[in-house]
């Protein structure tokens, strides 16, 4: 790795030091390399995956070795003009956190979201955007239509995760769909399902405020656990299940909620990186089609259109806002499943 000079000494960031240990401290921003540009972070969302680094100290093999700056859902302003991309200094952009290698077998097959050599801003060992300034690849910059806010631009990444899940799920007219877990991702998926013509959308979440939000965003039925799916469908189960929980029971509950011949899309990351034991017979006897959804494919332009044309409401998902100095509280509140919390947004340029 080439040596990179520090560029900003007066820069702060939120660091995860290990499981349960999150602090704000000084962070040296590194000089941009060729084909990179410095940006000032405008807004950065707290994602369920960030919470896994906080709760478990990592996700699977991606373990935090040194204090690590999370943050991959962000918008930023440019520190200089980029005429080749028709972007000007100070302009608000979204940043795709993923830079796949584009040369491996999996990239060649179109699985850029699964590239083992991806450089992903905010996934160890690559520090993320919960900081004031950082260098990002020019190839990741997303030009925005005028009028889009820094909140909306930061929400394009999680909305992209929802779009990718829908791409895999291929919802059909009039089928019965259950969304397990109505956090930011589940609520985005419910809105997209409603747009896709699904007429019987069931939102499941143990938290009352999330059930209420699911109802207001397009779910026709809501319930606090998977037993409700059986009640609502009178024991038939659902044609399609999209799981977006952090629960080790996510796979089990999805299988139990599925109808014969159903499709299950697993989007959530289970706590402890493990699923609870699943009955093989329950899955086999239904002949289920089971798929895992990771990150996203080609989604940004569709995400921008959905927000710009007000077909999807991302603003309603943001319930809590923090300056960088207060941001450790965002992690604690989300970990404690605080009342009325859906999505927290952090504003690194905001003084508090
Ligand atoms: Zn995320
Ligand atoms: Zn690759």
Q: What is the pLDDT of residues 114-145, one digit of tens each?
A: 999 999 999 988 999 999 999 999 999 999 99
In contact, 184 and 342? CB cutoff 8 Å: yes
Ligand closest to Cα of 161 equals 1
Residue 206 Cα to ligand 1 midpoint, Å, equals 21
Q: What protein residues have CB closer than 5 angstroms to ion ligand 1?
A: 47
Query: For the chain, which domains are there?
Result: 6-155+314-347 (3.90.180.10), 160-292 (3.40.50.720)
Give percent above pLDDT 90 in the chain: 80
pTM for the full model? Answer: 0.94
Q: Report, as an integer, the average pLDDT of 247-260.
A: 96
Give CB contacts under 8 A, 24+ apart, made by 208-215: 209/339, 209/340, 209/342, 210/182, 210/183, 210/186, 210/342, 211/182, 213/182, 213/187, 213/316, 213/342, 214/179, 214/182, 214/186, 214/187, 214/190
* CA 298 to centroid of ligand 2, rounded, Å: 15
Phi, psi of 278 (to 5 degrees): -115, 140
Encode pLDDT of 32-84 as tens digits.
999 999 999 999 999 988 988 888 877 777 777 789 999 999 999 999 999 99
| 273 contacts 267 by C-beta, under 8 angstroms | no
- Ligand showing the shortest atom-to-Cα distance for residue 123: 1
Q: Ligand 2 centre and the CA of 134: distance in Å?
A: 24
């Amino acid at each position: 790795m080439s040596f990179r000079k520090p560029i900003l000494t007066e820069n702060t960031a939120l660091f995860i030091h290990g499981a349960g240990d999150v602090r704000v401290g000084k962070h040296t921003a590194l000089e941009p390399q060729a084909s990179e540009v410095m940006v000032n972070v405008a807004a950065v969302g707290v994602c369920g995956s960030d919470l896994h680094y906080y709760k478990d100290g990592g996700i699977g093999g991606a373990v935090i070795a040194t204090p690590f700056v999370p943050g991959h859902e962000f918008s930023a302003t440019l520190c200089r003009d980029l005429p080749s991309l028709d972007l000007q200094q100070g302009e608000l952009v979204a940043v795709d956190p993923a830079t796949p290698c584009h040369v491996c077998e999996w990239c060649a097959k179109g699985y850029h979201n699964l590239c083992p050599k991806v450089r992903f801003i905010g996934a160890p060992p690559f520090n993320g955007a919960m900081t004031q300034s950082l260098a990002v690849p020019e190839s990741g910059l997303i030009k925005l239509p005028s009028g889009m806010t820094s909140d909306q631009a930061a929400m394009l990444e999680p909305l992209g995760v929802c779009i990718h899940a829908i791409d895999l799920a291929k919802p059909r007219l009039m089928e019965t769909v259950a969304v397990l877990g109505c956090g930011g991702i589940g609520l985005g998926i419910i809105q997209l399902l409603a747009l896709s013509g699904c007429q019987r959308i069931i939102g499941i979440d143990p938290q009352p405020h999330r059930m209420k939000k699911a109802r207001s965003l397009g779910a026709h039925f809501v319930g606090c656990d998977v037993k409700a799916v059986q009640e609502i469908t009178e024991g038939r189960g659902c044609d399609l299940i999209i799981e977006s929980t952090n629960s080790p029971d996510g796979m089990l509950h999805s299988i139990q909620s599925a109808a014969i011949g159903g499709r299950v899309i697993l989007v959530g990351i289970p706590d402890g990186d493990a699923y609870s034991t699943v009955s093989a017979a329950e899955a086999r006897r239904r002949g289920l089609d089971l798929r895992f959804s990771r990150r996203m494919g080609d989604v940004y332009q569709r995400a921008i259109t959905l927000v710009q044309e007000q077909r999807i409401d991302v603003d309603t998902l943001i319930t809590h806002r923090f300056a960088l100095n207060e941001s450790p509280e965002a992690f604690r509140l989300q970990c404690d499943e605080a009342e009325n919390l859906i999505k927290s947004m952090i504003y690194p340029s905001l003084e508090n």
